Chain A
Amino acid sequence: MSKQMDLLFQLASLLTLVVALAALGALVFDILSDGASRLSWAFLNNIASRNADQAGVYHALMGTIWVITLTGALALPIGVAAAIYLEEYGTRSRAAHFIELNIANLAAVPSIIYGLLGLGLFVRLMGMGQSVMAGAATLALLALPVVILSTREALRTVPSSIREGSYALGATKWQTIWNQVLPMALPGVLTGLILALSRAIGETAPLITIGALTYIPFAPDSVWSKFTVLPIQIFNWVSRPQVEFKTNAAAAILVLLVLLLSMNAIAIFVRDRYQRQGRV
């Protein structure tokens, strides 16, 4: 009887997996059939245009790469540092518990709220203007809770015997964290970063709120440049009446997908490499 239940559960789990993957597959297939024919070097190299067949994603693609790279560069060190403090140095006080609770809540705040915060804080108060820097800082705020939470999880999985061994050999707390704990936690940290950046790369609302542009005839040349990103370009194309722009939108979605997947592939490659080294 229990064996049958076991089999039944196994089947149910398999079914859910198939449903989830089929939905993803259908989505990718649909986008591919709509947009694949539109993909070309010209599409990647051309700038936005009112003529759908001459329009391209060059500036949006460059904008996305600038913004997401900078977002990662901001969110990773700050997030990891915050997690280390909370996990390794922080005490189990009521205040610490309160902060933990709030970080968990922050992960669920709608992105438009971060956009409003970014507009008030980065764009206006700090005078960053509608720059790549302001966009990346806003998205970094959005990514931080996920990075902090996953880093803490990863730090917790490092066995205490490692720490104790390190102390026994005379290492200080910081040396222990830096040389033993953090390297072992790195795969988990990177997983969190992938998740956070994957969310950030698809965001439109907070960036429109801080004033990211829609039509811009130049790629960013510094972090203080104005910019646009792929999701904004896609959003704009989808909402236009002409059918040809929808094909463009599908092609731009493919570009975004490829960018996202290659970003994740790099992170997974680094993670796996490191996991293997960690075990030696």
Chain B
Amino acid sequence: MTLPIRLAAVTRLLAQGKPLGVSGGFALLLTLAACGSSSQDARSGSAPSSGPGLVTLDGSSTVFPISEAVAEEFQKTGDYRVTVGISGTGGGFQKFCRSEIDIADASRPISATEIEACKKSGVEYIELPVAFDGIAIAAHPKAAWVDKITTDELTTLWAPEAQGKVTRWNQIRQGWPDREIHLFGAGVDSGTYDYFTEVINGKAKASRGDFTSSEDDNVLVQGISNDELALGFVPFAYFEENHDKLKLVPVDDGKADNGDGPITPTPETIEKGTYRPLSRPVYIYVSKKAASRPEVQKFVEFYLANADQLVREVNYVSLGAASYTSSAEKFAKERTQ
């Protein structure tokens, strides 16, 4: 009978509120919570993060692989600890403006309401672009007829009005087969979807709803590679890993200033800005207050100094060495302002 005795020892602590088990239990929770806040205050005061040498990042899952790579390398240079979360660009900014983190990962620029929130809580920040993220238009390798597509054609296909009406290939362009078109696209909560709809349909989150969507881009790759009549958009990094399964469709934006005719997304065309409009920069936002701590300052400097190489390693497109140098200068200047 050893067990009931042990059980007894544990629960005797709880047994004070004998007839009122529920409130006794919650009292315990509350006590624990109280210990929590006091021990945290003791360790970190009101600073956003605790302990020496700790740098905290949170935000976009698109930027995550880059920040993870930088964090991993940065920790080899000294006694530092870097943590990275993925609560999404919006979730990241929310924490950022509450001073809960040092750096926000963002797959889009900070929005007006977020600027307001940061202003209210007195969080000043420095915006630093760290890489390009391209969106690739992909079809099945056997779909020989899709040689290129214009942005106007993409608008015809993806506009909210197209729902249930534009359903066959030949409705997009004469000469394409009179067969059904099967659309695939990023999930409506993703930054990729926001960006695609904004540049193609003119308004973020506005598009037809009758397409196969997934928050997991691997599912899209799988779907397109198994369907001859498929057309979809996926982040460029996913195409790079799957180019034997997907056919890349060059995009023509109808403007001559970035090069005439259809442009195929490659690291070069994205970096030079000729693959437009489906490529965008992604950012980190550094809190000025946090940047006064040496570990944060060193981390950001390390980020910009090594981004060119690390960004390529994780399949994103580098902004080019010169751009990182000028970002580093911007950081050095604004940090002390």
B117 at interface by CB-CB < 8 Å: no
Q: A133-B32, A211-B95 are in contact. Are A224 and B40 (CB under 8 A)?
A: yes
B18 at interface by CB-CB < 8 Å: yes
List residues of chain B with CB within 8 A of the CB of A98: none
List residues of chain B with CB within 8 A of the CB of A149: none
B83's partner among A77, A126, A216 (CB-CB below 8 A) is: A216
A131 at interface by CB-CB < 8 Å: yes
Encode B20-42 as 1/0 by CB contact (under 8 A) with A.
Answer: 11101110111011101101110
List residues of chain A with CB within 8 A of the CB of B3: 186, 270, 273-274
CB distance from B103 to the nearest CB of A (A): 13
List residues of chain A with CB within 8 A of the CB of B36: 126-129, 131, 133-134, 223-224
Number of A interface residues at 8 Å Cβ cutoff, please give it.
Answer: 54
A217's partner among B7, B21, B82, B314 (CB-CB below 8 A) is: B82
A226 at interface by CB-CB < 8 Å: yes
A112 at interface by CB-CB < 8 Å: no
Q: Which of B66-74, B108-116, B151-159 is the interface stretch?
A: B66-74
B216 touching A85, Cβ below 8 Å: no
List residues of chain B with CB within 8 A of the CB of A183: 4
Q: Which of B8-16, B267-275, B293-301 is the interface stretch?
A: B8-16
B39 touching A224, Cβ below 8 Å: yes
Q: Which interface residue of A78, A174, A218 has the most chain B CB atoms within 10 A? A: A78
B194 at interface by CB-CB < 8 Å: no
Interface residues of B in 164-198 (CB under 8 A from A): none
List residues of chain A with CB within 8 A of the CB of B28: 77-78
B33's partner among A128, A240, A241, A243 (CB-CB below 8 A) is: A128
A128 touching B85, Cβ below 8 Å: no
B19 at interface by CB-CB < 8 Å: yes
B279 at interface by CB-CB < 8 Å: no
Instruction: A137 to B25: give the CA distance in the assembly, Å.
Output: 12
List residues of chain A with CB within 8 A of the CB of B20: 85
Instruction: A134 to B1: give the CA distance in the assembly, Å.
Output: 35
A128 touching B22, Cβ below 8 Å: no
B324 at interface by CB-CB < 8 Å: no
Interface residues of B in 38-72 (CB under 8 A from A): 39-41, 43, 58, 61, 64-65, 67-69, 71-72
B84 touching A213, Cβ below 8 Å: yes
B83 touching A208, Cβ below 8 Å: no
Q: Which of B121-129, B233-241, B283-291, B325-333 is the interface stretch?
A: B233-241
Instruction: Give the nearest-CB partner of A274 in chain B.
Output: B3
B29 touching A214, Cβ below 8 Å: no
Instruction: A127 to B81: give the CA distance in the assembly, Å.
Output: 22
A241 touching B84, Cβ below 8 Å: no
What are 14 A-to-B residue pairs whose CB atoms are below 8 Å?
Answer: A48-B72, A81-B11, A122-B33, A127-B41, A134-B36, A178-B8, A186-B3, A211-B85, A211-B87, A213-B85, A224-B43, A226-B83, A236-B86, A241-B217
- Closest CB pairs A-B (n = 4): A81-B21, A78-B25, A127-B37, A126-B33
